Amino acid sequence: MEDIERLIKTTMGEVQKVLSSNTVVGEPITINGTTIIPLLSVGFGIGAGGASIKADDKESGESPGSGSGSAGGAGAKPIAVIIIDKNGTRIEPIKGGITSALEKLVDAMPDVIEKVAEKWGEGKKEE
């Protein structure tokens, strides 16, 4: 059991190093007098477990030992930005986040490629 407690304490210590107010509120970016501060949603999960085998019964054939392990995962996604400019301060939500924008871009690529190919073909015919 001491191994599991040590494992959990070590894992939580590492999580604490990663999670801070800077993880949720990003570094401010200032461009032409406008400051943008990203806000993120952060989530994580961890699990740990262990077992030990005592070899009191020599007929069982099992050798004494123990084992333990832990695993974890984390993620962050942009949810909004704070905008500070000459008009004041406001919060703008990011609808769908960056993942959604990338998915839309990937979905649109076949149409874009087709249109570029058509335009390029038109240019070749005129030469």
Residue boundaries of the structural domains of the chain: 2-94, 96-127
Distance in angstroms (rounded) separating the CA atoms of residues 105 and 97: 13
- Please write the tens of the pLDDT for every residue from 110-120: 776 777 777 77
DSSP character at residue 33: T
User: What region does 118 belong to: left with phi over 0, alpha with psi -120 to 50, or beta?
Assistant: alpha
Closest CA relative to residue 45, chosen from 22, 19, 23, 6 = 19
Percentage of residues in the chain having pLDDT higher than 70: 66
Q: In the block, which residue shows the tokens 């040590």?
A: 6
- Please write the tens of the pLDDT for every residue from 52-76: 777 665 666 666 777 777 777 777 7
The two three-digit tokens of residue 127, written as one number: 């030469």
Is the pTM above the cut of 0.75?
Answer: no
pLDDT at 86: 92
Q: In the block, which residue shows the tokens 């007098």?
A: 33
